[in-house]
Amino acid sequence: NAGVTQTPKFRVLKTGQSMTLLCAQDMNHEYMYWYRQDPGMGLRLIHYSVGEGTTAKGEVPDGYNVSRLKKQNFLLGLESAAPSQTSVYFCASSLPVASQPQHFGDGTRLSIL
């Protein structure tokens, strides 16, 4: 019972490099989300998707792009990494029902030097 799986778990990048974080869920959830977690800031929503082929901006979308080509996958891209994007990134998924929780992955710890 995998739930939400994020890859990679750790990554170090240099400023200006690009990379893609992958999120996969096996619960057939319509909604998927990307958050970042920084000390003292709680969780902030970067982008989200309410279905295959759709994406939308969250609270802090600048510097990130996303794609949802398949229902089970949600990709987060950093085109030109900046030190301010050093963070822990969490993916989540949920059913489209307010009474249901979001299910989270274990996170990707990303450092930008």
β-partners of residue 6 are: 23
Residues numbered 8 to 67 that lie near another protein (CB under 8 A) are 31, 33, 40-43, 45, 48, 50
Closer to another protein at the Cβ: 31 or 64?
31
Give the whole-angstrom CA distance, residue 109 versus residue 31.
23
CA-based nearest residue to 79, from 20, 13, 9 = 20
Tokens of 40: 């003292």
> Under DSSP, is residue 66 helix (H, G, I), strand (E, B) or coil?
strand
CB of 71 to another protein, least distance (A): 15
CB of 63 to another protein, least distance (A): 21
- Site residues (vs another protein, CB under 8 A): 4, 31, 33, 40-43, 45, 48, 50, 90, 92, 94, 96-107
